[in-house]
């Protein structure tokens, strides 16, 4: 996918397990897999996804588009234009909103007074689902159902996944300045989706602590190895940047 990122360099940098998995895949680059890059400008991807979905519909393909955005993205004009456009054109698109309560330092209460995002979908005549975003299986099931509905009925769907951003928005953000540390800690520990899913997998006897620590150690070794290789590589010249 990256013209300057040669196959040779890729083999030197990426961990062997990743390359093995990648070889097995039929589709390995973003454009072949029909994954579009995200933009720095929030919500611009929404009308684009509607356009992509509408073109799938015109080509009579049994497929739909899905686009992801945060609660902050719903305060942009593009969100409203996209929802209305999708509703009237009956485009098979899934709008997946991660409502994590914060748009950098702005809480949702300062962004909108509606009952979350799900009601805004309904206001545009779009069927909308709210789901516990920290429950992996619930999210899987919601997306699976939404995809079936979008494809068979040729209509848009909105999913609002309720969650929390446990980390800072970015490396230049310090979220302890605008929200309580114990709130973050609660979500990091008691509500963590990965631990919840792991508990479920372990409860079914498909995974155990020994396998977990073995996997963690192996991945750690692979990453450390990849970092060492990357650090030894010559730096790009100014002309290449
Ligand atoms: C059109 C546009 N306006 C403003 C910004 C600046 N900006 C970057 S991230 C962000 C908030 C995004 O909120 P959300 O999508 O909820 O992301 P989260 O804080 O959960 O990571 C804003 C306003 C931007 N990137 N694009």
With a cut of 90, say whether residue 27 has pLDDT above it: no
Indicate the pLDDT class of residue 37, thresholds 50, 70 and 90.
confident
Here the ipTM equals 0.97
Mutation choice for ligand 1 from 46, 103, 173, CB with most ligand atoms inside 8 A: 103
C-beta 41 within 6 A of ligand 1:
yes
* Ligand 1 atom with the shortest distance to the CA of 69: 15
| Residue 135: predicted pLDDT | 96
Is any ligand 1 atom within 6 A of the Cβ of residue 4?
no
The per-residue pLDDT of the chain, averaged, comes to 89
178 an active-site residue? yes
CATH homologous superfamily, domain 33-166: Thiamin diphosphate (ThDP)-binding fold, Pyr/PP domains (3.40.50.970)
pLDDT in tens, 80-129: 999 999 999 999 999 999 999 999 999 999 999 999 999 999 999 999 99
Cβ burial of 27 (10 Å; 0-12, 13-18, 19+) is exposed
> Closest ligand 1 atom, CA of 165?
20
pLDDT digits (tens, 9 = 90+) for 178-195: 999 999 999 999 999 999
Where are the chain's structural domains?
33-166
Q: Which of 169, 179, 196, 198 is catalytic?
A: 169
Q: Who's near 66: CB < 8 A, 6+ residues apart?
A: 49, 93, 94, 96, 143, 147
């Amino acid at each position: 996918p990256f013209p300057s990122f040669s196959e040779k360099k890729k083999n030197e940098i990426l961990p062997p397990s990743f390359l093995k998995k990648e070889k097995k895949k039929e589709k390995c680059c973003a454009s072949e897999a029909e994954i579009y890059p995200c933009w720095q400008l929030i919500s611009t991807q929404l009308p684009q996804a509607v356009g992509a979905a509408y073109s799938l519909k015109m080509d009579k393909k049994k497929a739909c588009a899905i686009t992801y955005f945060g609660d902050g993205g719903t305060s942009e004009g593009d969100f409203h234009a996209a929802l209305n456009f999708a509703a009237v054109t009956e485009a098979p698109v899934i709008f997946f909103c991660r409502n994590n309560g914060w748009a950098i330092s702005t809480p949702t209460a300062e962004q909108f007074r509606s009952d979350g995002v799900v009601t805004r979908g309904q206001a545009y005549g779009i069927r909308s689902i709210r789901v516990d975003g920290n429950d992996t299986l619930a999210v899987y099931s919601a997306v699976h159902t939404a995809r079936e509905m979008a494809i068979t009925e040729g209509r848009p769907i909105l999913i609002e996944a309720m969650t929390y951003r446990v980390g800072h928005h970015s490396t230049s953000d310090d979220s302890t300045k605008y929200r309580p540390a114990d709130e973050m800690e609660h979500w990091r520990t008691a509500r963590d989706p990965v631990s919840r899913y792991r508990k479920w997998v372990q409860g079914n006897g498909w995974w155990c602590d020994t396998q977990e620590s073995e996997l963690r150690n192996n991945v750690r070794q692979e990453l450390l190895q990849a970092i060492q290789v990357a650090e030894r590589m010559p730096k790009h010249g100014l002309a290449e940047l």
